[in-house]
C-alpha cells in the first residue's frame, strides 16, 4: 500500500482559527500550526494534502501553508454538519487511494526517531490495511476521544486487531466493550487523532450520512466500527504525544513540548526553571 495523500480536517466553526496560530517549531522557527502539520505529513512521504476548510478560509489557509501551498488542495465543507461529514467532503480528493488523516487542531510530538505520522504510515504500509494510531490512556480521558477494543496481533508488537470502536464512551461502556488484555487497570486505547484510511471508509461514511437524520451525529468512529466488520483494520500504539490546541492551555502545552523537543531545549528548560524559581521565591516572601 503506497500512501501519498493526506486529508487534514480544519472546518470546525468553533476551532477553525486554531491552525492559523503561530508557534515556534522544534527547529526554533516561528510557523503557523497548519505548516507544522503539513511538514509532519511531508516527513511521512506524503505528496498531496487536502485540507477541509470553511468557505472563506481558503486565503488565510493558503498563506499559512507558506512554501507548501502548491501541494495543498482546499476542500470546502459548505455547512457545519460535523466531523464525519467534513471528512467525507474530501472523497473526491482521496479518490481510490488510501489517505493519512490528521486533524488541524492537534500538534504531534515524538522525542526521537521518526515523526508520529511517519511511524503510522510505515506501520500501515507494512500491514497493508487501515490503521489508527492509539495511545493507552486513563479512563478520565474517555469523554474526549474515540476508543477501540480488540486483541493484540500475534507476532507484531504494538498492533491490535480492532473489533469495536466507540466515540466518547462512558467508563461502564468502555469496561464492557473496550477492555484490552495486558493494559493497566482503568486504561483504554484512545484515538491519537491520526489514521491511515482505506477507500472503504469514504464509502461507509457516505452510507451513514445518507441514513442519518442529523449528519452532524456521524463520527469517524462510526465508520471505523463498520470498517472493522468489513475488512482488516488495526490499531497501532504509537510513541509520542498529541496536544489538542482547543483544550484548556492546549496551545501552551504544545509550545512547551515543541520547545523541549527541539534545538532550543536547553534555553527553554532554563527559562522554565527561572519561572518556577521566581514563583517559589515570591511564595516564600509572601
Outline where the chain has alpha helix (H): 33-43, 58-65, 83-88, 91-94, 116-127, 171-177, 199-211, 220-230, 250-260, 265-285
d(CA 107, CA 40): 9
For residue 216, what are the domain limits?
Answer: 5-285
Task: Identify the pLDDT of residue 244.
Answer: 95
pLDDT at 183 over 80: yes
Task: Identify the pLDDT of residue 239.
Answer: 92
Task: Identify the pLDDT of residue 232.
Answer: 97
- Three cell numbers at 266? 536547553
pLDDT at 13 over 80: yes
List Cβ neighbours of 180 (8 Å cut-off, separation of 6 or more). 149, 150, 151, 152, 160, 188, 189
Q: Is the dihedral of CA 173, 174, 175, 176 positive or negative?
A: positive
Mean pLDDT score, 54-79: 97
What is the CATH number for 256?
3.90.550.10
d(CA 226, CA 224): 5
List Cβ neighbours of 137 (8 Å cut-off, separation of 6 or more). 145, 187, 188, 189, 190
Burial 90-109 (b: 16+ CB within 10 A, else e): bbebbeeebbbbbbbbbbbb
Q: How many C-beta atoms lie closer than 10 Å to residue 231's C-beta?
A: 12
Mean pLDDT score, 65-72: 97
pLDDT at 7 over 90: yes
- Three cell numbers at 143? 469523554
Task: Give yes or no for a contact between 5 and 50, defined as CB atoms under 8 angstroms apart.
Answer: yes
List Cβ neighbours of 69 (8 Å cut-off, separation of 6 or more). 62, 63
pLDDT at 113 over 80: no
Averaged pLDDT score across all residues of the chain: 95
pTM for this model (two decimals): 0.94
DSSP symbols for 55-67: TT-HHHHHHHHGG
Task: Identify the pLDDT of residue 111.
Answer: 78
Task: Identify the pLDDT of residue 284.
Answer: 84
Domain count of the fold of the chain: 1
Task: Identify the pLDDT of residue 153.
Answer: 96
pLDDT at 31 over 90: yes
DSSP symbols for 87-107: HHTTHHHHTTS-EEEEETTEE
* Percent of the chain residues topping a pLDDT of 90: 90
Amino acid at each position: 500500500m503506497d500512501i501519498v495523500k493526506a486529508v487534514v480536517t480544519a472546518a470546525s466553526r468553533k476551532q477553525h482559527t486554531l491552525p492559523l496560530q503561530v508557534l515556534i517549531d522544534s527547529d526554533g522557527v516561528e510557523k503557523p500550526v497548519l505548516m507544522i502539520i503539513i511538514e509532519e505529513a511531508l516527513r511521512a512521504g506524503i505528496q498531496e494534502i487536502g485540507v477541509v476548510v470553511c468557505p472563506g478560509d481558503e486565503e488565510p489557509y493558503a498563506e499559512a501553508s507558506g512554501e507548501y501551498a502548491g501541494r495543498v488542495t482546499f476542500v470546502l465543507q459548505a455547512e457545519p454538519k460535523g466531523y464525519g461529514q467534513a471528512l467525507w467532503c474530501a472523497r473526491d480528493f482521496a479518490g481510490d487511494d488510501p489517505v493519512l488523516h490528521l486533524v488541524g487542531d492537534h500538534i504531534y510530538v515524538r522525542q526521537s526517531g521518526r515523526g508520529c505520522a511517519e511511524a503510522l504510515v510505515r506501520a500501515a504500509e507494512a500491514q497493508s490495511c487501515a490503521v489508527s494510531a492509539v495511545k493507552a490512556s486513563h479512563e478520565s480521558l474517555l469523554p474526549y476521544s474515540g476508543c477501540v477494543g480488540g486483541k493484540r496481533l500475534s507476532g507484531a508488537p504494538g498492533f491490535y486487531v480492532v473489533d469495536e470502536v466507540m466515540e466518547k464512551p462512558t467508563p461502564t461502556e468502555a469496561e464492557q466493550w473496550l477492555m484490552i488484555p495486558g493494559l493497566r487497570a482503568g486504561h483504554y486505547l484512545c484515538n491519537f487523532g491520526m489514521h491511515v484510511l482505506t477507500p472503504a471508509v469514504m464509502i461507509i461514511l457516505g452510507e451513514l450520512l445518507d441514513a442519518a437524520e442529523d449528519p452532524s451525529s456521524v463520527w469517524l468512529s462510526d465508520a471505523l466500527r463498520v470498517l472493522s466488520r468489513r475488512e482488516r483494520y488495526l490499531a497501532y500504539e504509537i510513541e509520542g504525544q498529541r496536544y489538542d490546541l482547543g483544550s484548556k492551555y492546549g496551545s501552551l502545552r504544545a509550545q512547551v513540548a515543541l520547545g523541549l523537543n527541539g534545538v532550543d531545549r536547553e534555553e527553554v528548560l532554563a527559562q522554565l526553571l527561572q519561572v518556577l524559581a521566581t514563583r517559589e521565591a515570591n511564595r516564600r516572601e509572601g
